[in-house]
Amino acid sequence: MTDAPEQPQLYLITPSVLDLEVYPQTLARVLDSHATACVRLALSSKDEDVLSRAADTLRGVTDARDVALVIEDHTILAERLGLDGVHLSDAARSVRHARSTLGPDAIVGSFCAGSRHDGMTAGEAGADYVSFGPVQPTALFDGEIAEMDMFQWWSDVIEVPCVAEGQLDSAMIAKLAPVTDFFGIGDEIWGQDDPVAALTTLWSATR
């Protein structure tokens, strides 16, 4: 997950609510259709039992395919469940704690919205990657956008790999493919009738 490839790699983000009777099979089909570097368990629930059941179930899918599984924000659960790492949504604030808790071999990622400063701070604190997004505005979002020039600057100057995520479409993927290491794809495909076909359409823009 920490090596920056010549071509961007796929980083999947789960829905915020999962049906564990259905979703693992869907995830398996998607992973079997496209090489994937990492899956982020990104549930909105704060219930430890819900999170633990989901992590244990999805780990069976990801481990069978040698794909890393990280959990969003719950560093202690990542340690307790033996997951590959944690994705932090508070920029750089928790990176040092996560690194000291999980050790040098765990994946520690940091979401930094559109902030170069937060991204650099996270990298200096020990993050294996930083993620930036959303990459374009929507009617329901009026916050900070991760602009193309920031990705270009990051690619030119910083060695820490970056993930582009949020409001991705084929045009944005084609535009960002030369300057990002990973694309974080989630809601763009899970709500579609055929997530595999939806991902195939999006991913064709990287070529």
Could you write out the DSSP letters of every residue in the chain? --S--SS-EEEEE--SS--TTTHHHHHHHHHHHS-EEEEEE--S---HHHHHHHHHHHHHHHHTTT-EEEEES-HHHHHHHT-SEEEESSTTTTHHHHHHHH-TTSEEEEE-TT-HHHHHHHHHHT-SEEEE--SS-BTTB-S----HHHHHHHHHH--S-EEEESS--HHHHHHHGGG-SEEEESHHHHTSS-HHHHHHHHHGGG-
Q: What is the pLDDT of residue 4?
A: 46
CATH of domain 9-202: 3.20.20.70
pTM: 0.95
Q: What is the pLDDT of residue 139?
A: 66
Q: What is the pLDDT of residue 138?
A: 73
- Structure token pair of residue 166: 């949020």
Closest C-alpha among 58, 60, 64, 11 to residue 39? 11
Q: What is the pLDDT of residue 141?
A: 60
Instruction: Concatenate the DSSP letters of all residues of 66-98 into one string.
Output: T-EEEEES-HHHHHHHT-SEEEESSTTTTHHHH
- Structure token pair of residue 112: 């930094």
Calpha distance 166→136 (Å, rounded): 8
The dihedral region occupied by 166, where left means phi > 0, alpha psi between -120 and 50, and beta the remainder, is left
Q: What is the pLDDT of residue 96?
A: 97
Tens digits of pLDDT across the chain (207 residues): 544 447 899 999 999 999 999 999 999 999 999 999 999 999 999 999 999 999 999 999 999 999 999 999 999 999 999 999 999 999 999 999 999 999 999 999 999 999 999 999 999 999 999 999 999 987 666 678 999 999 999 999 999 999 999 999 999 999 999 999 999 999 999 999 999 999 999 999 998
Q: What is the pLDDT of residue 119?
A: 97
CA 160 to chain centre: 15
